[in-house]
Structure 1
Amino acid sequence: MDTLEWLLFLCIYFKVTQIAELSWTADVPNEVKGLLGSCVVIPCSYNYPDPQGKAKSFTGIWMTTEGDRVIYHPTQSKIVKQYQSRTKLLGDASKNCSLMIEKLQQDDRGPFYFRIEIEGYNRASYRKNKVSISVMDEPNPIDFSVQEEVKEGQTVSAFCSVSHSCPTYPPDFHWSHPGVQHFQAQKLQNGQWNSTSTLTFCSNRTDHNKSLQCSVTYHEGKHQETSKTIKVKYAPVNVKVEYQSDVNEGETAHLKCSSDANPVSSYEWHSETGALLNKGQTYTILIVSRHSVEAVYCTAVNEEGQVRSSTVKLNVLYAPDIRTSSKCSSDWGVLKCECIVESRPPSMVHFVLGDRLQNSSVETNGSVTTGTLQTDFGSFKFVHCLANNTLGNENLTLSLLVNDNMQKIFIVSGTVVILLIILIATGVGVVNKRKENYEDVHSNDICSNDHVYGNVRTKRRVPLKTNV
């Protein structure tokens, strides 16, 4: 193309452009969608020949193609009753003729066209540029997206978006989960808009298997919602041992480990020292013994981590067992007996001395109960200790041992007895000697004086007998 042809092309282009700018044109979509009961905005722009300063004011009017009924006019009285207070011109002198219709009804289908009246210049109706409204009973479906499987502590972003035709009053979004929300609007074709709400939050195990819901409320009250279930992976928590703490000796005990985890945990059982006892959710002790039962704990394990429970120990119940260290002793005539009983639950301890139940004191320390008896020694050789609880009873006969002090009593007592025997024996000897002397003297008297002293001796014997 040479220079002359290029200049000719530019002249034609600018001429056509100038003619287009000076023509009466309007740009509207053929159809827009609107939600029943909500609002709809018909996007519109228009053009007219440049009046070169002659235009003073602009009056935009919307009308129906059938019957030329006015659905919008700056003067409300000129609007047909059906549209009064429901229509509004959003444009101004900048050639924007967009119209909003509120509380959309089924009869608001059109077609409609725009008319411009320019005071002091001209007026024009854009009948060829007509638009219809497709009234929808229900909103467009919600577009909802979110990562449905996450790990605890991971950031989750959820997107909820809808298309609509009312940018003046965009939909209101509500989320069932707290977090940071962000709103964004985007213009589409044919009068449609897209509104998107983004929710961002940090995932937690409490979100697992919970429904994340997005609710949308449109202008004038239409409502819809949708949801998705979130799966959160997390290490075991709330690890605990379920068991019956009290178990009779000789019976079987069952312990079960439980936890809250995703994925589900596997379980291990350990002794208090850390030795592995068993694998699996349950741990069974076939024959429970007070001497062999030890403290245990379980560990819950999954791919996210492992956590152990607190340590537990069975409370083994058994009948009374009186220890052989139980004994009696005496001190200066006072008897003291101690009966030591091991049992769970603690036992009641009694003492029987002879055929009578004795008052005693009882002290309990853990599984050991100690009964103490303190009384006068008496002449008894045995004390019976009786112990009983809800699982059974036992008795033990305690011998009365004599200690050093009692032996001293016996020695002293024996010495006194011996002395008394000696004294008595000595006394008897003296009496007998005097008796012999007396009989010898009076024997001679009798031989020599037989007829004078016979009755006196008999009487004199009386003092002798009295002395003895």
Structure 2
Amino acid sequence: MAPPLPLIFFLLMIHAFEKFDEFCVSGVSSDDWGVSYSPSHICALNDSTVIMRCTYTYPTRYQIKEAFWTNTSVTYPDEPPDLSKDPEYSQRLQYLGDQQQNCTVRLSHVTLKDSHMYYFRFITNITDGKYTGYPGVTLTVTDLQVESPERVTEGDSVSLTCKSSCALTDRATFIWYRNSQPLTERRDRNNELLLQSVRREDSGRYSCAVDGHTHVSPDVQLNVMYPPKSVSVSISPSGVIVEGDSVTLNCISDSNPPALNFSWFKGGTIVGSGRIYNISKISSDDSGEYKCKSINEHGEKYSDAVTLNVMYPPRSVSVLMRGSGVIVEGDSVTLNCISDSNPPAEIHWFKENETSAVGSGPSFSALQSGRFYCQAHNQHGSQRSDAVTVTVHHVAGRNVIVIAAASGGLFIIILIIIFILFIL
């Protein structure tokens, strides 16, 4: 027959008092029993080594049989686990204390999973002479994170902060990296990196660490915005440009964000838009100075001017003749060769129906009758002019020799003149 309820309640109360008595010995400090932790809260960096300093006391008539660290405070119904026997801790946990008063322990290569409250427990040679230091040491393991503005504009002052989820227990000296390279200049204030008047060269991936520790924070990109700089024009093809070629001008601009608005100018006149300006079948009329303007939301900038020098063969070759082209024997007429070409052409003069040149240079002096033309030539081609006619007239009496006789006879003089004209 089941015992009455009052009896059951009485038995439970007795059992509870027995356990309470054990808890008083095992979990609550008194004048004879105690565990002291210093400090009681530790904030440690991921992958660092932590030392939990500890001292303990117990009645002098007791002897220590076991002393260990655990992360479980429950002592009933089983003993809490000894971390030195736990595979996750056994290689990293080293007990530095003794079995008298010192219970210090070292835990290396801590990870975020090691964030717990840790307790020291010892067992004496007396039944129920067990004690757990409660509350224990609170260990918080933290990563490092860089806090940075996503976008800044050139010239701004920027502050980057190396943050942790808790205040590190050990005094920390912070180290900063840009693109995985340590920043040698000392611009840090506590856990802040101050960039005064930020430049475009300050763009990059930033991370931080604590001196003496291997853990480095994840990278954070600092994006420095700036107006167009170093604007220039490239020409393709880059060599000699000949009339009829297809030519491409490319506007090169360094800016952040990249420029999306481009304008092209020939002299002071706008001739196009877009990053690329293409001229198909270029002509000599396209020769001149070109420049581009690059624009983004932070400003604009012009490139230096570049010159397009379009080469072409001689054209519109003609002969300019001074006078009518009719001359008297012994005189000359000057012929000038007019030619449009780039580069300037070499000029040669020919008499029609003759293969050899009769002269060279931009002008030619004709002394005899005939049809003359010039031929202009450069490395891109040649062209000849139309021929012009030069006529030389023989004038009677041009070679008259006047002989004055001493007698002054008029008849003799007339005879001499008639004789000369007859010969001519």
- Whether the TM-score (by the shorter chain) exceeds 0.5 is yes
Q: Distance in 2 between matches of 1:133 and 1:99?
A: 11
Q: What are the residue-to-residue correspondences of 1:108-257 with 2, within 5 Å?
A: 129=133, 140-162=142-164, 167=169, 170=172, 173-176=175-178, 178=183, 180-182=186-188, 184=190, 197-201=191-195, 202-208=197-203, 210-216=204-210, 218-219=212-213, 222-244=214-236, 246-249=240-243, 253-257=247-251
- Which letter does structure 2 place at the counterpart of 1:414? G
Q: What are the residue-to-residue correspondences of 1:297-336 with 2, within 5 Å?
A: 297-321=291-315, 324=318, 326-327=320-321
- Say which of 363, 367, 373 aligns to 1:384: 373
Match of 2:265 in 1: 270
Q: Distance in 2 between matches of 1:66 and 1:416?
A: 144
Measured against aligned partners, the alpha-carbon deviations of 1:321-354 in whole angstroms (never above 9, x if no partner) come to 3554655899977886543433123323323354
Partner secondary structure for residue 224 of structure 1: coil
Q: What are the residue-to-residue correspondences of 1:3-22 with 2, within 5 Å?
A: none
- Which letter does structure 2 place at the counterpart of 1:147? P
**Equivalent residues of 2:350, 2:372 under 8 A apart:** yes
- Say which of 334, 342, 345 aligns to 1:344: 342
User: What displacement does 1:255 show?
Assistant: 3.3
User: What displacement does 1:416 show?
Assistant: 2.6
Q: Distance in 1 between matches of 2:262 and 2:308?
A: 20
Q: Distance in 2 between matches of 1:378 and 1:309?
A: 57
For structure 2, which runs of at least 5 residues remain unmatched after alignment?
Answer: 1-28, 58-64, 70-90, 112-116, 123-129, 404-410, 420-424
Specify whether residues 98 and 36 from structure 1 end up closer, same or farther in structure 2 by C-alpha distance, changes over 3 A only. farther
- Which letter does structure 2 place at the counterpart of 1:243? I
- Which letter does structure 1 place at the counterpart of 2:193? L
Match of 1:58 in 2: none
Partner secondary structure for residue 243 of structure 1: strand
User: What displacement does 1:200 show?
Assistant: 1.1
Q: Distance in 1 between matches of 2:384 and 2:55?
A: 111
Q: Distance in 2 between matches of 1:142 and 1:37?
A: 11
Measured against aligned partners, the alpha-carbon deviations of 1:77-123 in whole angstroms (never above 9, x if no partner) come to xxxxx99x9969xxxxxxxx9968596799xx996589xxxxxxxxx
Match of 1:40 in 2: 50
Q: Distance in 2 between matches of 1:87 and 1:24?
A: 21
**Equivalent residues of 1:143, 1:162 under 8 A apart:** yes
Match of 1:414 in 2: 397
Match of 2:67 in 1: 65
Q: Distance in 1 between matches of 2:368 and 2:40?
A: 127
User: What displacement does 1:287 show?
Assistant: 5.8
Specify whether residues 98 and 234 from structure 1 end up closer, same or farther in structure 2 by C-alpha distance, changes over 3 A only. farther
Q: Distance in 1 between matches of 2:103 and 2:187?
A: 31
Partner secondary structure for residue 232 of structure 2: strand
User: What displacement does 1:199 show?
Assistant: 0.8
Based on CA coordinates, which of the two structures has the bigger radius of gyration?
1
Match of 1:357 in 2: 357
User: What displacement does 1:320 show?
Assistant: 0.4
What is the percentage of aligned positions where both structures have the same residue? 22
Measured against aligned partners, the alpha-carbon deviations of 1:3-55 in whole angstroms (never above 9, x if no partner) come to xxxxxxxxxxxxxxxxx9x99866426786767984323356999xxxxxxxx
User: What displacement does 1:216 show?
Assistant: 4.5
Matched pairs, number = 329
Alignment RMSD: 5.5
Specify whether residues 110 and 64 from structure 1 end up closer, same or farther in structure 2 by C-alpha distance, changes over 3 A only. farther
Specify whether residues 104 and 214 from structure 1 end up closer, same or farther in structure 2 by C-alpha distance, changes over 3 A only. closer
Measured against aligned partners, the alpha-carbon deviations of 1:382-415 in whole angstroms (never above 9, x if no partner) come to 443222223321112565768xxx99xx76x834
Partner secondary structure for residue 397 of structure 2: helix
User: What displacement does 1:130 show?
Assistant: 7.4
Q: Distance in 2 between matches of 1:394 and 1:45?
A: 110
Q: Distance in 2 between matches of 1:64 and 1:135?
A: 23
**Equivalent residues of 2:319, 2:374 under 8 A apart:** no
Measured against aligned partners, the alpha-carbon deviations of 1:186-230 in whole angstroms (never above 9, x if no partner) come to xxxxxxxxxxx211113323445x3223344544xx333311122
- Which letter does structure 2 place at the counterpart of 1:308? Y
Q: Distance in 2 between matches of 1:170 and 1:279?
A: 56
For structure 1, which runs of at least 5 residues remain unmatched after alignment?
Answer: 1-19, 48-62, 68-81, 89-96, 115-125, 185-196, 362-370, 431-468
Q: What are the residue-to-residue correspondences of 1:88-99 with 2, within 5 Å?
A: none
Partner secondary structure for residue 414 of structure 1: coil
User: What displacement does 1:145 show?
Assistant: 0.8
Specify whether residues 38 and 254 from structure 1 end up closer, same or farther in structure 2 by C-alpha distance, changes over 3 A only. closer
Higher mean alpha-carbon deviation, 33-42 vs 275-284, is at 33-42
Match of 2:81 in 1: none
